[in-house]
Chain A
């Protein structure tokens, strides 16, 4: 860790899946820790586009990224209130280099390489999952008040500075407010990253040091939500659709399996759960259209099964590794039941361990988390350099 306090103003770029995003974040290294100040965040989402096809079409996604990438970067630089030259207002560039869809990743990576070359700036390739891990440490984190006295002291260091709102260029809606905070993450930290492409438990020994503690053996949790939504004829993306329907359903209506709940490891499996939902649907109403209550009950029961396994394994892993902080991240972290049930379980079973949950706007893919992760790595280590920077669709963190 640096002895002196240093800061980097980092342009983050993210295009691994179906969001094109750019952000400017000031990352400051102090003696023991890092703080992040969000200057701007712009996300162009393709969700509406892919909803029509019921999922991401890779070629369409890549073409959309190509069209959106420069306007999104320019908007993020302008929003950040930099000096007159956009290039001069940042110190470094961080870009998601993997994992993700190769054709989508390549768009962000090539943009970052070109800018780094043209502007003579350092550039670093960031692992998307590391971004999700750090997202709970980002400003405007929702902090549950059951934290230990020590952590509560740290919590007071959170400062909130209202700044200009950031906007979603697809809808023009405000995404979140730029806030500033400093907090100390207690290491080792255990992170549960759950999204459409990932379900992983990662142990963070310290900044940059990750070990994979557990992962799905087949489908990601978010993928199971998408597939169940498809079986029920609900729209894409499946996560929000299923959880919305689940709100009026009975989570005990169906007894779906809790895959690998009692296994000795910290792995997950969601493929069989999706198949169980399919059986249940075929058994109950082979022909007729599903009525609203049935859909709600199936959604609620499925969600409960998935959430229960995620929560139980996370808490068990946290106790087993002696985690001092539990972090939640990824698109499925937006799921209310997961947030609430994880919070309740942590309260009951590891009352001294703070649980940090990202602000809703940082659960989905965004570039703030990428700028933050890249900034940390550049402050402790080295840049990748534009010559070496390349997308890696299967990059695994902590393996």
Chain B
């Protein structure tokens, strides 16, 4: 699979809240079928980023770690989104995203294991965004309907500062 690398945005986050804001901005550009590959060390902000995506999509459920079950599926809620992020409504840029799938590829040896566990049906859908933590491990073998985009997190060993690089954030 080819990554969209034409546009690369390098952002700095100083807190969980800022990481979630970056995620919210990325959420505005999402289309159904997109796959986000999230990479960075333990504690770098991958899960926080997914929580930011979820909140921006109006999802209010707990976004708990998918490590144990490999992936968790959330339904996008439009009505709440309209009131929460004034300006985003049914006609908004992400209106055709219906589901968000949060994947943890840390424990799998190859993409086939994720497909075996049932991820395949979500990857085929054009109304679903799939966010994969440790995406680097499976990016070559994941079938992508829409666009594949990489978000990498670095830094953060001794401070709250993170460098978040978003590839293919815009076209």
Please report A residues at the B interface, Cβ cutoff 8 Å.
17, 55-60, 62, 99-103, 196-198, 215-220, 223, 227, 230-231, 271, 274-275, 278-279, 282-283, 286, 393-394
A101 CB contact (under 8 Å) in B62, B68, B157, B158: B68
The CA-CA distance from A101 to B48 in the complex, in Å, is 23
Q: Is the CB of B158 within 8 A of A215?
A: no
- Output the least CB separation between A254 and chain B (Å): 14
Distance A286 CA – B63 CA, assembled complex (angstroms): 32
Choose among A216, A231, A275 the residue that contacts B64 (Cβ–Cβ < 8 A): A216
Residues of B within 8 Å of A215, CB to CB, are 62, 64
A196 proximity list for chain B (CB < 8 A): 68
- State the Cβ distance, B91 to closest chain A Cβ, in Å: 31
Q: Is the beta-carbon distance between A55 and B70 smaller than 8 angstroms?
A: no
Q: Which chain A positions have C-beta within 8 A of B159? A: 279
Interface digits, B66-84 against A, CB 8 Å rule (1 contact, 0 not)? 0111101100000000000
Q: Are B62 and A217 in contact (CB under 8 A)?
A: yes
Are B109 and A100 within 8 A (Cβ)?
A: no
Q: Are A393 and B109 touching (Cβ within 8 A)?
A: no
* Also in contact, A271 and B47, with CB within 8 A (given A57-B108, A227-B42, A279-B157): yes
A59 B69 Cβ-Cβ under 8 A: no
Contact A223/B65 with A58-B107, A101-B70, A102-B70 known, Cβ cut-off 8 Å: yes
Tell whether B118 is near chain A: CB-to-CB under 8 Å.
yes
B116 interfacial by beta-carbon distance below 8 Å: yes
Q: In the docked arrangement, what's the CA distance between A246 and B69, Å?
A: 28
Q: For A217, what are the chain B residues with a Cβ–Cβ distance below 8 Å? A: 62-64
Does B122 make an interface contact (CB < 8 A)? no
- Interface of B, secondary structure class, is loop
Q: In the complex, are the beta carbons of A58 and B108 less than 8 A apart?
A: yes
**Interface size class for chain B?**
20 to 34
B1 CB to nearest chain A CB (Å)? 21
Give Cα distance in the complex from A275 to B51, angstroms: 16
4 more A-B contacts (CB under 8 A) besides A102-B118, A271-B65, A274-B42?
A: A59-B113, A275-B43, A286-B158, A393-B70
Cβ-defined contact, B64 with A282, below 8 A: no
Cβ-based interface call for B17 (8 A) = no
Interface of chain B residues 21 through 47 with chain A (CB within 8 A): 41-43, 47
Contacts A59-B108, A218-B47; is A283 near B68 (CB within 8 Å)? no
- State whether B157 touches A282 (Cβ < 8 A): yes
15 cross-chain CB contacts under 8 A: A58-B108, A59-B112, A59-B116, A101-B69, A101-B117, A102-B118, A198-B68, A217-B62, A218-B47, A219-B64, A223-B68, A271-B48, A274-B43, A275-B156, A278-B157
Interface hub of B42, B51, B69 (most chain A Cβ within 10 A): B69
B98-123 interface with A by 8 A CB criterion: 106-109, 112-113, 116-118
- Asked whether, in the complex, the Cβ of B69 is within 8 Å of the Cβ of A197, the reply is yes
Indicate whether A55 sits within 8 Å of B108 (C-beta atoms), given known contacts A227-B42, A271-B65, A282-B157.
no
Given contacts A56-B107, A279-B158, contact A102 B117 (CB under 8 A): yes
Interface residue from A57, A99, A219, A394 paired with B67 (Cβ < 8 Å): A219
For the complex, give the distance between the alpha carbons of A244 and B141 in Å.
40
Q: Cβ of A223 and Cβ of B70 under 8 Å apart?
A: no
Which residues on B sit within 8 Å (CB–CB) of A274?
42-43
Centre residue among B63, B72, B117, B159 by max chain A CB count within 10 A: B117
- In the complex, chain A residues whose CB is within 8 Å of the CB of B51: 218
Contact A218 B73 (CB under 8 A): no
Which residues does chain B contribute within 8 Å of A62, judged by CB atoms? 116
